[in-house]
Chains A and B, each alone.
Chain A
Amino acid sequence: MNERTRILLEESILPPLVALAVAFIAGDLLILAYGQAPGAVWAALFEGTWGNAYGFGQVLYKATTLTCTGLAVAMSLRAGLFNIGAEGQLAAGGFGAAVTGLALPAGTPWIIAVPLCTLAACLAGGAVGAVPGVLRAKFGAHEVIVTIMSNFIVLALLNYIVSAKLHVPETLHTPEMHAGEVARLSGMIAGFHGSAANWTLAIVLGACVAVWWYLFRTRAGYELRAVGLQPGAAEYAGVKVGRTWRNALILSGALAGLGGVNFVLGYKGYYEDGFAGGAGFLGIAVALVGRNHPLGVLLAALFFATLSQGGLAINAMVPKQIVEALQGIVIIAVATSVPEVRRVLRDAAGKVAGGRA
């Protein structure tokens, strides 16, 4: 029992906490370098985010998208693959939702329109994820290369479609959808007024539970994690490794695509070019800090959303780029403290010292 607790503590909980502590200290130094008092800046950051309902609403809104892209990257990493394509999959998901909302007749009840648009978002993201998935499974093409490239292709293609065929004049966004809007949280809690937080949050919380259940309670999840940890052993256990890779990247793309719902259905009501705005790439950091666990991803998404929103709150005292520096520090600190990475580093050091072939 104690051994189990120790492993959990040492491998899962300690690294992110240490990373946060390191970032906190580094943040202090950066703030001091600007001649400001760290205490006052941290207080302003907290006040602008968790300290008032609007700021908190904005944190929830940003965290909703980041949870999706974080889950997407975590799903791929669990299968031993690195999906860098969440940015393009997120955009494709948003586009799929918007086009579906446009195609539906005006007045379609939300109980039909929202699930349809959400499904369309997941399908669009999943389709983008299927390309590297199939290429990896069939031809062994490295998914990192393919997903990086697919970002360029997908974003350029969407840009073309929107600007050439589907935009409202003078803008780079599609017309408003006829149906499928998701209500704001402010409809229920007045304090959120003005913030973009919406009920997509509930869908995404559901997705967290579903991903957890899939990974840890189903046979497919058991096999997917086996492939990620030890492909040779998975093959020995009768798992079709290529097929598992393909499925993992499709699921990963679908999860990233789901994030598009938050912006399109929950916030603007249309697809706008460039709305992803780096949330797909930040999903990599979310998954890393969240240790590829849905609960960890959720917490990490809240953390990064807080930093992102808090940057606006402290902009008067210190440049808001400080939070980007902090994000970088957290990512590096977590990356070097997680056991897998530590093991790789130790092996490399051993090779240099011991000279083993």
Chain B
Amino acid sequence: MTTSAAPTPAVRMTAIEKRFGAVRANRGANLEVRQGEIHALVGENGAGKSTLMKILSGAQSCDGGRIEVGGRDVTGWTTAEAIASGVGMVHQHFMLVPTLTVAENVVLGREPVSVATFDRARAIRDVEQLCEQSGLIVPADRLVADLSVGEAQRVEILKTLYRGARILLLDEPTAVLSPPEVADLWKVLRRVRDGGATIVLITHKLDEVMNVTEQVTVMRQGETVARMATAETTPEGIAHAMVGRAVDLSVREGRAATRAGAAPALEVRNLVVRGPRVEKAVNDVSFTVAPGEILGIAGVEGNGQTELLEAIAGLRGVTSGSVRLGGTDITALDVRGRGDAGLSHIPEDRHRRGLILEYSIADNLILGQQHHYANRGVLDSAAIAANAATQIAAFDIRPTDPALPAGALSGGNQQKIVIAREMSRAFSALLAAQPTRGVDVGAIEFIHEELRKARDAGKAVLLVSAELREVLTLADRVAVMYGGRFVAVLPRAEATEDVLGPYMTGAKRESAA
């Protein structure tokens, strides 16, 4: 049935349909991946990339369409059949047993056996051999619990290869990696590809697409809207296809609006904060943010950024140290007291902290300020409605019905609710944690513009982002957090990916911090 003389593609998915209740996650999606290429599958959050890959790996069934792997019709196969045919998915969240060694994790489920017992020596030998072939270097006898995030990810890939995968599906593999680890990953993927494997890379980072892939398929709202050769396109071209309109991707240099000699708006002194597992998740951190300045905190996730911001916001107790807002010590105040003192907070997880998805847009727009919207304990519904109407118009929140639950909105519009609420209160300092996580490219522009506006209006902004690019785009000064400490604080002009990388991995630290 092939229409041309081209070699059989490794994967061909035609007119894939998938519904979840009222949501059509895939609508007539098509994907064709050639043998031995690295193929990017890009799109905004919720565009249907992960669903399409889950269907390909057998983890989910499709409601319509046809899947061929190596020319064979495999529509509706199971995960086990997919693995047996060499299709393996490397998940974004690791699925490793921390108390077992690397080798044991890799062979788990397919353990080499000698006379009914587990052949550990052979497992280690096999895994070491596989490491060497693929270039994925991990000590085979080390416990997974002792590995870094980058190493753990290599184990995930090894697991898939050990099961004989010739088609690797990677779901946002760089989300948790530092720049040098990302560079290593690309090296490994190229080597695996050169060994004859085919790779599909799910991502929303355009620089990754340009860097390592040969072909790009773009998804938007469940449809595959474009397929192009990477070499023949530009990031702007891909972004245009992702959003459906032209997008400005330029990195604008930060320009501090700070007045020389101004007293710091936000000051943190010798802060020590306990984390969920470690005694000192934040270990003796001191810094100031001036009015009209954005201080960006770069760093791999999990190095104390979450604990630092929660401690400043009053959500987490401090072991020692102090937080001052405009010269006033607010360490003893609770969350509400700090908010009323002029602290605004865009939390990193809008589903867990920033919003109540079941609450209406209007109710979410007063979250944290509900005491200002009540007279003697009774909610002032007129004021709540007026506030909702103002914010929905000012921040272009869609759909515009204030009674809709926030959960019915797209990620970008949900985040706009949080931004609208936190920007419209009276504040002097703003904590912005992962402000653009999981939002579409269009909303990112908008949110960045809002953060700049706050800075230009003389507010102190403390920005934490896992996207180094975002920190570099917005910040006037860049701090790098590693192991609970600020290992470097640099002016924006001196901060580049190359300079920051070694700090982010802990390979380097400034002498006087």
Give the B-binding residues of A (Cβ under 8 A): 1, 3-4, 7, 217-220, 222-223, 225-226, 229-230, 232-238, 240, 353-357
Contact = CB atoms under 8 A, between A and B. Distances in A.
Interface string B96-131: 000000000000000000000000000000000000
B212 interface: no
Most buried by A among B60, B345, B353, B403: B353
Most buried by B among A7, A232, A234: A232
Contacts of A233: 352-356, 367
B355 A1 contact: no
A357 B91 contact: yes
Q: Is the interface of A mostly helix, strand, loop or mixed?
A: helix
A356 B93 contact: yes
B342 to A, nearest CB: 14
A230 B349 CA distance: 12
Nearest to B91: A356
B401 A232 contact: no
B370 A219 contact: yes
Nearest to A339: B358
B91 A217 contact: no
A3 B401 contact: yes
A220 B94 contact: no
Given A217-B379, A355-B79, A357-B95, A237 B368 contact: yes
Contacts of B403: 4
B377 A219 contact: yes
25 contacts: A3-B399, A4-B403, A217-B381, A218-B379, A219-B373, A220-B377, A223-B370, A226-B356, A226-B367, A229-B356, A229-B359, A230-B357, A232-B349, A233-B356, A236-B353, A236-B368, A237-B367, A238-B336, A238-B371, A240-B334, A353-B79, A354-B54, A354-B60, A355-B79, A357-B95
B339 interface: yes
B470 interface: no
Contacts of B335: 235-238
A192 to B, nearest CB: 37
Given A217-B378, A226-B367, A236 B59 contact: no
Nearest to B353: A236
B408 A230 contact: no
Nearest to A223: B370
B374 interface: yes
B95 A230 contact: no
B301 interface: no
Please list the 7 inter-chain residue pairs (A to B) with the smallest Cβ-Cβ separation, ordered nearest first: A238-B336, A219-B374, A237-B368, A357-B95, A238-B335, A236-B353, A354-B59
B405 A230 contact: no
Contacts of B334: 238, 240
Interface in B293-338: 313, 315, 334-336
B352 A232 contact: yes
Nearest to A240: B334
Contacts of B368: 236-238
B315 A235 contact: yes
B347 interface: yes
Given A218-B379, A238-B336, A226 B404 contact: no
A355 B339 CA distance: 41
B405 A7 contact: yes
Interface string B63-100: 00000000000000001000000000001011100000
B363 interface: yes
Contacts of B347: 236
A219 B93 CA distance: 39
A236 B404 contact: no
Most buried by B among A218, A240, A354: A354
Given A7-B408, A218-B377, A357 B370 contact: no
B383 to A, nearest CB: 12
B313 to A, nearest CB: 8
B328 to A, nearest CB: 18
A344 to B, nearest CB: 15
A226 B360 CA distance: 12
B382 to A, nearest CB: 12
Given A222-B363, A233-B355, A1 B401 contact: yes
B108 to A, nearest CB: 12
B93 A4 contact: no
Nearest to A1: B401
Nearest to B373: A219
B432 to A, nearest CB: 14
B95 A355 contact: yes
Interface in B414-451: none
Contact of B352 (A217, A223, A230): A230
Contacts of A353: 59-60, 79
B388 to A, nearest CB: 14
Contacts of A219: 370-371, 373-374, 377-379
Contacts of B379: 217-219, 222
Most buried by A among B79, B367, B368, B401: B367
Nearest to B380: A219
A356 B95 CA distance: 7
Contacts of B313: 236
Contacts of A234: 356
